[in-house]
Amino acid sequence: SPGPITEQFTLNFTITNLRFTTDLGTPNSAKFSSTEKIMQHYIDPLLQKSSIGPYFTGCKVIGFRSGRHRDITGIDAVCSYNVSLAKFDREKVYHELSTMTNGVTKLGHYSLEKNSLYVNG
């Protein structure tokens, strides 16, 4: 029998206290890899606690981008969930993540740029 059917959605947000450097923008660099692991350490538990938690299968950070200032870094991730078990409600997941990040202001010890969170945006 075929395995579970997964679908993907994007997650984007901006951190205001993570300095962007060229090596952070280079996939497979040591800085990219270590920062990717840190971001996944914060992102995955949030989604596991959300309404799609039982169906959530993980996120992969696919890129870091420079913000308006050097101290600001944009994060792009692709996340997956088992579509055969749940319908994905983008707005509901956005609101849950917004609440869990104190109104899109905190992610662990990182500060988030208000209004920077996008789910499938």
CA distance 96 to 76: 18
pLDDT at site 1: 59
What is 6-120's CATH superfamily? SEA domain (3.30.70.960)
CA distance 83 to 56: 9
Average pLDDT taken over every residue of the chain: 91
Q: What is the pLDDT of residues 32-88, one digit of tens each?
A: 999 999 999 999 999 999 998 988 999 999 999 998 777 899 999 999 998 876 678
Query: Structural domain boundaries of the chain?
Result: 6-120
pLDDT at site 19: 93
CA distance 98 to 106: 10
Percent above pLDDT 90 for the chain = 76
CA distance 65 to 25: 6
CA distance 80 to 5: 10
Cβ atoms of residues 5 and 84 within 8 Å: yes
Question: Under DSSP, is residue 116 helix (H, G, I), strand (E, B) or coil?
Answer: coil
